Amino acid sequence: MTEQLYKIISKENVEQFSYSLRSSGTIFAPVKTGAEVHSFKAVNSLKEADLEYTRTMIPPKKFFISPSETIFTFNKEKEEYYEKHAIDEPIVLFGVHPCDINALNLLAKVYLESFTDKYYSERREKTTIIGISCMPDENCFCKSTGTDYALDGFELFLHDIGDRYLVRVGSLKGYRLLEENLSLFSEVTEKDIALYKLAENKRLGAFTKSLEMSGLQDMLDLNYDSPVWDEYGEKCLSCGSCNLVCPRCRCYDVQDYMDLDLNTGERIRKWYSCMLQEHGLVAGGHNFRATSKERLRNRINCKGSLKEDMTNCVGCGRCTTYCPADIDYVEVIQKLRGDL
């Protein structure tokens, strides 16, 4: 069993392995695009990628739920509509972190279980996910949310143990990839296991931010009228940046756009933000969440939800890192709990 689930690959061989992955699709990997910004972009070689990154600004969910996409075009006169294909070519996501893999697992529950979204389904079917371990920075708290380790939702997962990776196989597709490239892999030795233990202990000991998750749902309910919401509501710009960078936000809007001939047009689905003022606006002009305080409270309550039997926050730290008002998600929760 051990031989089937775990292997070792040297970092020198990873580049060669990536060449064989091209048969599985275009490779997208984390690329440094700014001083402190990374993005998953198409690469010809892993030499273009930064596999030691902390987080990308936009999470890999963008490959499964497009920020904006045409669902179908229509012709009123002919009473016809034409659906768009979800994806033209298969892709490989190389270097996905555990928090983002766990986020995709929750999105799969949302988009595949109750009602199958064919776009998400087709994209996941045509995507090969290669995970990779990472070291936390000052805004990471995925250890607290239990999402610092991925048990499934990937084909292969690479644990950095120095000059090589310990590889876990997470799917049949991943096992086949390994079998097709056996010459690049070796068996796990006692030394490799010792190095893995050291690397894991170092990673777990590097977390400086933590959040007590026990009873969080009750704590949020009991603090519905807390002055903490007023304090941070005054700071919040209601810009929606936290939603855009969150790997687990799943809200979208659907709109129809008519062409100038008033006969043809298209239906578009795009990401939507509960932090925008118009999100709670309904017919007649009433707004269920008219103030930034109410919208902030709604979002944080959503992140604390266990609706899908999984925490809706994976502790990636994106909302805190990229908030222009410097609102710290963990700090808000800690004040609600009375820890600060």
**96 & 182 share domain:** yes
Number of independent structural domains in the chain: 2
Distances (CA, A) of 231 to 7, 228, 290, 294: 51, 5, 16, 12
Residue 326 burial (CB count, 10 A): 8
**102 & 195 share domain:** yes
What does the pLDDT read at residue 1?
A: 38
**310 & 173 share domain:** no
Residue 272 within a domain: yes
What does the pLDDT read at residue 311?
A: 83
pLDDT tens for residues 226-239? 999 999 999 999 99
pLDDT tens for residues 166-206? 999 999 999 999 999 999 999 999 999 999 999 999 999 99
SS3 label, residue 157: strand
**307 & 174 share domain:** no
**263 & 172 share domain:** no
What does the pLDDT read at residue 182?
A: 94
pLDDT band at 114 (very low <50, low <70, confident <90, very high): confident
Pick from 184, 205, 226: which residue ends a domain? 205
**181 & 308 share domain:** no
With 0-12 CB in 10 A as exposed, 13-18 as middle and 19+ as buried, what is 232?
buried
What sign for the dihedral angle of Cα 172, 174, 179, 180? positive
The pTM of the full predicted model, rounded to 2 decimals, is: 0.93
Cα separation, 131 vs 156, whole angstroms: 6
Pick from 175, 205, 235: which residue ends a domain? 205
Residue 186 within a domain: yes
pLDDT tens for residues 258-273? 999 999 999 999 999 9
What sign for the dihedral angle of Cα 275, 280, 284, 286? negative
Q: Which helix (H) or strand (E) holds 95?
A: strand 91-96
**132 & 177 share domain:** yes
pLDDT band at 102 (very low <50, low <70, confident <90, very high): very high
Residue 110 belongs to what domain range?
2-67+84-205
Cα separation, 127 vs 120, whole angstroms: 10
Cα separation, 316 vs 276, whole angstroms: 22
Task: Report which of 18, 104, 35 is spatially closest to residue 63, judged by C-alpha positions.
Answer: 104
Cα separation, 139 vs 118, whole angstroms: 35
What does the pLDDT read at residue 331?
A: 97
Residue 153 within a domain: yes
Q: What is the rounded average pLDDT for all residues in the chain?
A: 94
SS3 label, residue 207: coil
**322 & 200 share domain:** no
Does 274 score more than 80 pLDDT?
A: yes
**165 & 31 share domain:** yes
Average pLDDT estimate for 64-78: 93
**110 & 163 share domain:** yes
What does the pLDDT read at residue 89?
A: 87
**198 & 240 share domain:** no
Contacts of 340 (CB under 8 A, 6+ apart): 331, 334
Pick from 176, 205, 234: which residue ends a domain? 205
Angle between helices 292-303 and 329-337 in degrees, nearest 10? 90
Does 220 score more than 90 pLDDT?
A: yes
Residue 77 within a domain: no
- Running DSSP on this structure, what letter comes out for residue 338? T
